[in-house]
Amino acid sequence: MERNEKLERLAPLLREVLAVLGEDPEREGLRRTPERWADALLTYTQGMQQDAGDPLGVIFKLDDDDSPAESDDMILVDHIQFVSTCEHHIAPFRGMVHIAYIPNPEQRVVTGLSKLSRVVSVFARRLQLQERMTQQIASAIDEHLHPQGVIVVVQGVHYCMIQRGVEQRESTTTTTARRGAFLTKPQLEAKFQEYLRLRMATQL
Ligand code: ZN
């Protein structure tokens, strides 16, 4: 379905929601709200029409000199911001994603660093669960780059908790997904955490 057709179908439904809430959808401040709300909903979920393979299709090959074949050296990109939508309450949750992967020793394939943040946004702009988003990001990197291993850590703040009065303003949710060597070599995760701590202590 085209975006315009979706907007046309959504707007009257959302106008009805406003009416059921006891609002007057015709009052000045709300008159265009159903259209704006519909447009916003389509933006929040536009990742549903996107494939993580697109950004990850752009890969680079390392020269033999760039990384020794038997290396466990990881590439870490931290503090990738995201905003997503909780599928249980249609409320936003936002936070940070930290990703590390160890390139495949035979293929020596790496991705552009900005591509990782695009992968995050492809999965964030959907009706989501933080746990699932974490796994999807790890799987996409695993499937497209075939790394030795990948770890994804997501820290999220959920407005469905804050706004509904559960009053957990300070609490964050942390989820982790591991693939490959990160499942079998716990020292890699220790190294990853050490780099993250180092990053937090460094002003760049
Ligand atoms: Zn929720």
Beta strands in 2-118 (DSSP E): 59-61, 75-86, 91-102, 109-111
User: Number of helices (H) and strands (E), helices first, in the chain?
Assistant: 8, 7
Which of 188, 168, 164 shows the shortest CA–CA distance to 176?
Answer: 188
> Which pLDDT does position 68 carry in this prediction?
55
> Which pLDDT does position 33 carry in this prediction?
97
The residues, any chain, with a CB within 8 Å of residue 175's CB and separated by 6 or more, are 130, 131, 133, 134, 153, 154, 156
Angstrom distance (rounded) from CA 49 to CA 46: 6
The residues, any chain, with a CB within 8 Å of residue 123's CB and separated by 6 or more, are 47, 52, 84, 133, 136, 137, 140
Report how far ligand 1's centroid is from the alpha carbon of 125 (Å). Answer: 15
Report how far ligand 1's centroid is from the alpha carbon of 187 (Å). Answer: 34
Report how far ligand 1's centroid is from the alpha carbon of 124 (Å). Answer: 14
> Which pLDDT does position 69 carry in this prediction?
59
The residues, any chain, with a CB within 8 Å of residue 161's CB and separated by 6 or more, are 168, 171
Report how far ligand 1's centroid is from the alpha carbon of 190 (Å). Answer: 31
Report how far ligand 1's centroid is from the alpha carbon of 24 (Å). Answer: 27
Report how far ligand 1's centroid is from the alpha carbon of 87 (Å). Answer: 7
Q: Would you call 175 helix, strand, or coil by DSSP?
A: strand
Report how far ligand 1's centroid is from the alpha carbon of 60 (Å). Answer: 38
Report how far ligand 1's centroid is from the alpha carbon of 122 (Å). Answer: 19
| Ordered per-residue pLDDT tens for the chain, 204 residues | 899 999 999 999 999 999 999 999 999 999 999 999 999 999 999 999 898 888 887 677 776 666 555 678 899 999 999 999 999 999 999 999 999 999 987 777 778 778 999 999 999 999 999 999 999 999 999 999 999 999 999 999 999 888 877 666 678 999 999 999 999 999 999 999 999 999 888 887
Radius of gyration of the chain (CA): 21
